[in-house]
Amino acid sequence: MTQVLEQIAEVAGYLWQQGWGERNGGNLTVNLTGFFTTDVSKGEPHPLGVTLPHIAGQYFYVKGTQKRMRDLARKPMENGCIIRITDDGTAYRPVDDFVPPTSELPSHLMVQDYLRQCGSRYTATLHTHPIELVALSHHRDLLDDTERPNRLTRTLWSMIPETLAFAPLGIGIVPYEVPGSVELAEATLKKIRDYDVVLWEKHGVFAVGQDIMDAFDQVDVLNKAARIYLDALTYTAAHPDSQPEGMTGEAMRDVQRIFRLPKQRPC
Ligand code: 2HA
Ligand code: ZN
């Protein structure tokens, strides 16, 4: 378990360094069930407000509410805590000192419940505020999510070959909802069935991964493409006749062939 906690701390440091984790911004959970054999939770149960039967009895590391990523990077157990979901799936109890969990707990645990339900090997969920992706989420013309791949995904894929190669599912779009709300969690749950990363309009992203580094990498690859796109558009601002070209359809098909895409979701 030490290794998993060290990886969580490492990723928290990257989130801060990238400028994606201002103040208490962002949160994460990692399933730690494999490290526990008996019920070691204690104290009063804290109701979840929903029933999550597929993660009943499971253990999670959860970032604490109002805690800073930059502090979590040094001291994960002071800025988050391990919880166990009660056997009836309606509440949780802490395992050690209680640090109240993130305000986005509904999204994280509802998605974790879905991942267990479908037998996924994914263990981690991540919410963060990547600057360039959030900037693009203010542009209505990029938020149309009726086609697959959607327009934002096609734009990002066409920036560098690696985006398509390493984020082959693209990015789903979740219309704006109040942070921390069950509505946001439900909208996220709907989209995450098809994507590893979804964009929370005018707020941030929510990602899932085999571990927390995997979830971070997915966001990092997509945000890198968003940054390149925005940088190219600053050239357009000075030279209005020159639009970013993007990779050709043929070049993108080559990437798909060489990397044997699309990759399948684990559920
Ligand atoms: O943890 O990012 O969305 C603070 C947030 C809420
Ligand atoms: Zn947020």
Per-residue pLDDT at 150: 97
Exposure of 261 by Cβ count < 10 A (0-12 exposed, 13-18 middle, 19+ buried)?
Answer: middle
- Encode pLDDT of 140-160 as tens digits: 999 999 999 999 999 999 999
**Cα 161 to Cα 58: distance, rounded to the nearest angstrom:** 39
Summarize the confidence of residues 89-107 as an average pLDDT: 96
Per-residue pLDDT at 266: 66
Its CATH architecture, for the domain 130-267, is 3-Layer(aba) Sandwich (3.40)
Ligand 1 contact via 26 beta carbon (within 6 Å): yes
Q: Cα of 103 to ligand 2 centre, how many Å?
A: 9
Q: How confident is the model at residue 267 (pLDDT cuts 50, 70, 90)?
A: confident
Residue 52 contacts residue 89 (beta carbons within 8 Å): yes
Query: CATH 3.40.225.10: which residues of the chain?
Result: 1-129, 130-267
The dotted CATH code for 1-129 is: 3.40.225.10
Q: Cα of 103 to ligand 1 centre, how many Å?
A: 7
Ligand 1 contact via 25 beta carbon (within 6 Å): yes
Summarize the confidence of residues 50-77 as an average pLDDT: 98
Catalytic residues: 104
**Cα 64 to Cα 77: distance, rounded to the nearest angstrom:** 9
Alpha carbon nearest to ligand 1 atom 4, residue? 25
Ligand 1 contact via 179 beta carbon (within 6 Å): yes
Summarize the confidence of residues 229-235 as an average pLDDT: 98
Tell me, what DSSP letter sits at residue 142? G
